[in-house]
């Protein structure tokens, strides 16, 4: 492989714009060959460093051996669309490039899965692990020995204290705090600004200070 990476951006919305900015700061040599979005006209309302090509059928134009994918689909309480894009790309033989903003602090002992995205100002301390296709968003703080499952989203400003476990496809809302040693179950949602003081079961939603199960 040459020194220049060639990538396609999957998605043309707000998260994709943030990811492209981080990617170009991390790897100025990257060549973005296109933006793929099922709503191309909406995607074209933004300024991109490459052409908006159209929907997912455009993947057939490229070789998975020569082009990397970057998942620009966001995740606001619904992990499924982002996960489905990752799984579709993998079925077609593509690899997903991880994106780490240069201002993020990632300890040497952190284990990162494929296609992970770590945004500006985020911190990951020693002993942490982040599963495939997960987002650690702007200024999130992940302390020692936390484990984040695949396809999860740790939203801007979240604080996870030491030893927290987050199950796959979970969403921790902006500004939430999870105290040390707790488990957030898979496919669970922690509301923005919540203070989590107890374990959260699989597929549950909690909100508030202290966090309590959301009714209805």
- Which positions are annotated as active-site residues? 144
Q: How many of the other CB atoms lie within 10 Å of CB of 102? A: 9
For residue 146, is the peptide bond before it cis, meaning its omega torsion is within 30 degrees of 0?
Answer: no
Residue found by looking up tokens 């995607």 in the block = 43
d(CA 55, CA 68): 17
Helical segments of 34-79, H only: 40-43
CB-CB contact of 139 with 154 (8 Å): no
Q: Tell me which residue of 62, 70, 68, 66 sits closest to 23, measured CA to CA.
A: 70
The 10 Å CB-count burial string (b at 16+, else e) for 18-39 is bbbebbeebbeebebbbbbbee
Pair of tokens at residue 71: 């998942």
Residue 204: helix, strand or coil by DSSP? coil
Q: d(Cα 151, Cα 128) in Å, to the nearest integer?
A: 16
Look up residue 159 and give its two tokens. 């604080």
């Amino acid at each position: 492989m040459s020194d220049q990476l060639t990538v396609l951006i999957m998605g043309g919305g707000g998260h994709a714009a943030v990811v492209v900015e981080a990617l170009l700061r991390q790897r100025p040599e990257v060549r973005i060959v296109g933006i793929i979005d099922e709503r191309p006209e909406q995607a074209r309302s933004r300024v991109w460093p490459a052409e908006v090509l159209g929907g997912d059928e455009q993947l057939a134009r490229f070789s998975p051996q020569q082009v990397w994918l970057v998942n620009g689909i966001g995740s606001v309480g619904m992990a499924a669309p982002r996960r489905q894009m990752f799984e579709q790309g993998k079925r077609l033989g593509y690899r997903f490039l991880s994106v780490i903003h240069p201002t993020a602090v990632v300890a040497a002992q952190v284990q990162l899965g494929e296609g992970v995205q770590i945004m500006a100002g985020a911190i990951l301390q020693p002993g942490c692990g982040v599963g495939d296709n997960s987002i650690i968003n702007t200024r999130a703080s992940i302390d020692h020995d936390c484990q984040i499952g695949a396809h999860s989203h740790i939203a801007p400003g979240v604080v996870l204290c030491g030893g927290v476990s987050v199950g796959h496809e979970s969403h921790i809302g902006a500004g939430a705090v999870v105290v040390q040693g707790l488990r957030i179950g898979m496919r669970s949602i922690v509301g923005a600004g919540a203070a989590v003081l107890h374990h959260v079961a699989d597929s549950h939603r909690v909100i508030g200070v202290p966090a309590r199960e959301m009714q209805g």
